[in-house]
Amino acid sequence: MAKKTVAVGIDIGGTNTVFGFVDRDGKILGEDKIKTTQYDEIEVFVAALYEKILVTSYKIGNGIELVGFGIGAPMGNINKGTIEHAAGLPWKGIVPLADTFKRHTDLPVIVTNDANAAAVGEMIYGGAKEMKNFVVITLGTGLGSGFVIDGKLVYGHDGFAGEIGHTAIRPGPSNRECGCGRKGCLETYVSATGLKRSLLKIMADSMQPSELRQYSFDELDAELIHDAAVRGDYIAKRAFTHTGNMLGFKLADVVAHTNPEAIFLFGGLALAKDLIFEPAKEFMEANLLSIYKGKVKLLASELSTQNAAVLGASSLVWSVKES
């Protein structure tokens, strides 16, 4: 019997690094993780990760043929295979991740950021299988984006295309400080953190009662706000509407740049469904130039949320192999 070809998808996060062996249909045959925070040196981290991958490979057994490694990481640069100045990771400066990995293997090693991996994942396994021009927006602690044009992920000249989380919501001063050192970036409004910040502002202005008034800023998270909104909490609903509106407003800009067929929302906040999609759709349509109105689909990602990051990372391998 012919061996089944599989790609390893690796998702490097601030706390854990998760990986999985994934077949061409997006089925995960085996997975495991290591603690990112335990490794101060990239060489030691990669060696430990590679060993764990080998162990998992033995467990899966003989029936597979490994074809490559796809790695999603914050500030992952697809042109150079590096991680560059990622604030949330233990390794500082420019980290030669692909080169370090290649000391252990001759197979292809592709590095990119989480949002680009999600975009390729949507094309390989998800709702964009038949699409050539689409955008994926990842809504987590921050906001990431990946652009596919003419069936290919857009890399950009320096390997850093698709950082729309760091476009400004308006010119001139804004009060919302961003982790990037500037103020008023889109992700300070549209992300799990942005939702919480908007909630506090609305709570400060409004006299309406809210079950969320009992929680501290540190205690609050997107899930608490979501659950309150579902129960009809006025302040929580307003926070979602504002977040969705700001997203929709900037999605109209995205459309005016590359005129995609669809925009997919991916990640925790996208699971709030209508709470985020309806206000986003409303403001996107209201701000679209007439030639685009009613033509751009706003869709939920079809990657299973639990393994989405690993799926996305693994999809890079198929994408390169098949292009």
What residues line the site for a second copy (CB under 8 A)?
Answer: 75, 84-85, 132-133, 147, 149-150, 152, 154-164, 166-171, 180-182, 245-246, 249, 252-254, 256-261, 287, 289-292, 295-296
Minimum CB–partner distance for residue 158 and a second copy (Å) = 6
Helix axes 308-322, 114-124, angle to 10 degrees: 70
Give the residue with the Cβ less far from a second copy, 241 or 314. Answer: 241
Minimum CB–partner distance for residue 248 and a second copy (Å) = 10
Q: What is the enclosing helix (H) or strand (E) of 150? A: none
CA dist 51 and 205 (Å) reads 54
The half-sphere exposure of 253 on its side-chain side, counting CA atoms within 13 A, is: 12
Minimum CB–partner distance for residue 303 and a second copy (Å) = 21
Minimum CB–partner distance for residue 287 and a second copy (Å) = 6
Burial class from Cβ neighbours inside 10 Å (0-12, 13-18, 19+) for residue 232 reads exposed
Helix axes 234-258, 222-230, angle to 10 degrees: 110
Place of tokens 């690094």: 17
CA dist 87 and 90 (Å) reads 8
Minimum CB–partner distance for residue 280 and a second copy (Å) = 13
Give the residue with the Cβ less far from a second copy, 30 or 184. Answer: 184
- Give the closest residue to 23 by CA, choosing from 10, 9, 7: 7
Give the residue with the Cβ less far from a second copy, 57 or 167. Answer: 167
Minimum CB–partner distance for residue 75 and a second copy (Å) = 7
Contact in structure between 222 and 94 (CB atoms under 8 Å): no
Q: Is 127 helix (H, G, I), strand (E, B) or coil?
A: coil
Minimum CB–partner distance for residue 103 and a second copy (Å) = 26
Cα angle 298, 301, 307; round to 5: 165
In the DSSP assignment, the letter for residue 154 is -
Place of tokens 């109105």: 293
Minimum CB–partner distance for residue 247 and a second copy (Å) = 11
Give the residue with the Cβ less far from a second copy, 35 or 132. Answer: 132
- Per DSSP, the residues of 219-274 read T--HHHHHHHHHTT-HHHHHHHHHHHHHHHHHHHHHHHHH--SEEEEESGGGGGTH
